[in-house]
């Protein structure tokens, strides 16, 4: 009976050993196949890397060759050399390249010029857009003197525009207001760059009509700069020689302000055509002739 039990035990142990041995063989085969697959993958990657590297080096060599030929050609054209071994090399083989390869070479060889061209084109585009998007006024009026209500909050632009002919033929009547808050106090004006703005506007011929206060007298010589209105409007009670005084007119109401917003020293005037720093007399004369009709209409409307 014991012998029979021993035999059963031996058979069981032998079966387990055979099963373990079978599993071990399968595992080894699996690992072997996985290792072989990994080695094949690595081999393919290395082959691909070597191919790409050879292709890159070949392209760089060709581009370098093209650059050398380009330099040699420039030297020949400029007379620095009379002949070139690089351009006359008969042993070089012609490489057939695709359109995109040729395009890439062109960009590579001219990248600095192309970059500069792109920058210049971008700047030109911005300038053209800025000019095209800006309004083009039919008339420019200078408001000289500090008065925020008049210069920034009133309807003075709308009021003046109704008298402005469509000089630029764009179908609109537009008077542009250049507000220069001059105070005559050097420190305050300097902080806001007022003297520079005032000088620039008074020395060009783009505008001849002025709405100003007594501080204008400290900037210009009245009799040399302004037209004598007493000769043009001898019977007008608001005319004080070179100035049409806005006091006792309904100017404030017409531009949406109260009379208290416009002090008694504010006036309307027009400049004489003359040679300026940034313009000649004949050009200023054209502006005068263009704007005088509007100036005359404003005088009559306020009288």
> Which residue stretches of the chain have pLDDT < 70?
1-25, 75-97, 101, 128-135
pLDDT of residue 82: 62
What's this model's pTM, rounded to 2 decimal places?
0.57
Q: What is the CA radius of gyration of the chain?
A: 44
pLDDT of residue 7: 47
Tokens of 155: 């309807």
pLDDT of residue 41: 80
pLDDT of residue 21: 59
pLDDT of residue 145: 94
Name the burial class of residue 129, with classes exposed (0-12), middle (13-18) and buried (19+) by CB atoms within 10 angstroms of its CB: exposed
pLDDT of residue 285: 96
All residues at 6 or more sequence positions from 33 whose CB lies less than 8 Å from its CB, including other chains: none
pLDDT tens for each residue of 8-45: 545 555 555 555 655 566 777 777 777 777 887 887 78
Question: Hey, where are the domains in the chain?
Answer: 2-85, 96-134, 138-302
pLDDT of residue 4: 46
Taking the C-alpha atoms of residue 112 and residue 133, their distance in angstroms, rounded to an integer, is: 32
pLDDT of residue 18: 59
């Amino acid at each position: 009976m014991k012998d029979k039990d021993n035999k059963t035990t031996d058979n069981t142990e032998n079966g387990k050993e055979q099963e373990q041995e079978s599993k071990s063989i399968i595992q080894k085969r699996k690992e072997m196949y996985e290792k072989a697959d990994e080695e094949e993958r690595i081999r393919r990657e290395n082959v691909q890397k070597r191919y790409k590297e050879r292709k890159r080096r070949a392209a760089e060599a060709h581009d370098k060759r093209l650059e050398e030929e380009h330099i040699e050609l420039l030297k020949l054209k400029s007379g620095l050399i009379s002949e070139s071994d690089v351009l006359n090399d008969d042993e070089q083989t012609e490489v057939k390249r695709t359109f995109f390869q040729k395009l890439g070479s062109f960009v590579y060889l001219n990248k600095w010029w192309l970059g500069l061209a792109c920058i210049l084109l971008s700047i030109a585009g911005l300038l053209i857009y800025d000019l095209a998007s800006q309004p083009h006024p039919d008339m420019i009026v200078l408001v000289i003197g500090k008065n925020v209500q008049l210069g920034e909050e009133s309807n003075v632009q709308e009021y003046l525009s109704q008298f402005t002919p469509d000089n630029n033929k764009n179908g609109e009547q537009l008077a542009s207001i250049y507000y220069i808050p001059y105070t005559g106090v050097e420190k305050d004006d300097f902080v806001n760059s007022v003297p520079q703005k005032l000088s620039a506007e008074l020395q060009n011929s783009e505008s001849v009509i002025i709405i100003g206060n007594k501080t204008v007298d400290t900037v210009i010589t009245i009799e040399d700069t302004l037209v004598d209105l007493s000769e043009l409007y001898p019977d007008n009670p608001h005319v004080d020689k070179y100035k049409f005084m806005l006091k006792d007119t309904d100017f404030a109401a017409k531009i949406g302000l109260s009379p208290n917003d416009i002090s008694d020293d504010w006036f309307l005037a027009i400049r004489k055509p003359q040679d300026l720093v940034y313009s000649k007399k004949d050009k200023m004369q054209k502006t005068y002739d263009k704007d005088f009709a509007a100036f005359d209409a404003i005088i009559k409307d306020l009288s």
